[in-house]
């Protein structure tokens, strides 16, 4: 996603990270404490086979310090519930989206409105986002989503019912959708009655 220069108010915030165990694997989280004394997340890393989460985080955020903070206990609990296919709510104020473009924010807003157990197609998402660039443009935003699962890009599928891409592979995407109750046929395509019409 496009990033602008950081605001001065954020430059002195220490970055922290941790690796948490969930039912889908180890997830990396990076956060800082906002001036209003609540956590702000910078990034969520889905489970990956190619390297350890700590190494991935340090490669991107070399100044981040590993710390288990009581301030994010509730956020971690909610994230684990989402990985289990359950519902949980985390306010958007906990996620640092200040440097996102208007279009990127619009996509994230739409993602959050897709109900648990429902999906949208890439073309429907593009229509709702009122972009003339079509499904390819929204696909590019989803591929760079820094907060997967929280902003549920796994709920976006292809128009023919095939699952489409995902940051860490289609098997993880399929697992998340099945845990949320999304139905697949015997060819592993989604049954389109689960498409969200709202």
Report d(CA 27, CA 47) in Å as an integer: 5
Residue ranges making up the domain that contains 64: 8-94
In this structure, the answer to whether residues 25 and 66 fall within a common structural domain is: yes
pTM (two decimals): 0.85
Q: Scanning the structure block, which residue is given the tokens 């906002």?
A: 34
Tell me, yes or no, whether 1 lies in a domain: no
Instruction: Report the domain count for the chain.
Output: 2
In this structure, the answer to whether residues 125 and 82 fall within a common structural domain is: no
Mind listing the pLDDT tens digit of every residue in the chain (198 residues)? 655 444 443 444 699 999 999 999 999 999 998 876 788 999 999 998 767 899 999 999 999 999 876 778 888 999 999 999 999 988 888 899 988 999 999 999 999 999 999 999 999 999 898 877 778 889 889 999 999 999 999 999 998 889 998 988 899 999 999 999 988 887 778 776 566 666
Tell me, yes or no, whether 112 lies in a domain: yes
Q: Which residues are catalytic?
A: 153
Tell me, yes or no, whether 182 lies in a domain: yes
Report d(CA 191, CA 150) in Å as an integer: 24
The answer to whether 30 touches 16, Cβ cutoff 8 Å, is: yes
The answer to whether 13 touches 37, Cβ cutoff 8 Å, is: no
In this structure, the answer to whether residues 172 and 114 fall within a common structural domain is: yes
| CATH assignment at residue 136 | 1.10.10.10
Helices 135-143, 102-112: axis angle to 10 degrees equals: 80
Task: Give the three-class secondary structure for 89.
Answer: coil
| Helix, strand, coil content of the chain in percent (nearest 5) | 35, 15, 45
Tell me, yes or no, whether 2 lies in a domain: no
The answer to whether 142 touches 156, Cβ cutoff 8 Å, is: yes
The answer to whether 15 touches 65, Cβ cutoff 8 Å, is: yes
In this structure, the answer to whether residues 88 and 22 fall within a common structural domain is: yes
């Amino acid at each position: 996603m496009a990033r602008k220069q950081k605001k001065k108010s954020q430059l002195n915030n220490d970055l922290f990270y941790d690796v948490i165990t969930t039912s889908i694997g180890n997830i990396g989280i990076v956060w800082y404490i906002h001036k209003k004394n609540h956590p702000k997340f910078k990034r969520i890393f889905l489970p990956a086979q190619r390297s350890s989460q700590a190494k991935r985080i340090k490669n991107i955020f070399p100044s981040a310090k590993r710390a288990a903070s009581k301030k994010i206990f509730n956020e971690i609990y909610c994230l684990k519930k989402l990985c289990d296919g359950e519902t949980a709510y985390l306010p958007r104020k906990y996620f640092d989206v200040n440097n996102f473009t208007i279009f990127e924010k619009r996509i994230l807003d739409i993602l959050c409105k897709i109900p648990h157990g429902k999906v949208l197609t890439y073309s429907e998402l593009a229509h709702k986002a009122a972009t003339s660039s079509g499904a390819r443009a929204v696909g590019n935003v989803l591929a760079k989503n820094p907060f997967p699962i929280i902003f549920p890009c796994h709920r976006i599928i292809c128009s023919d019912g095939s699952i489409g891409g995902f940051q860490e592979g289609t098997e993880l995407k399929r697992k998340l959708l099945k845990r949320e109750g999304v139905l697949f046929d015997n060819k592993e395509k989604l049954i389109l009655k689960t498409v969200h019409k709202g």
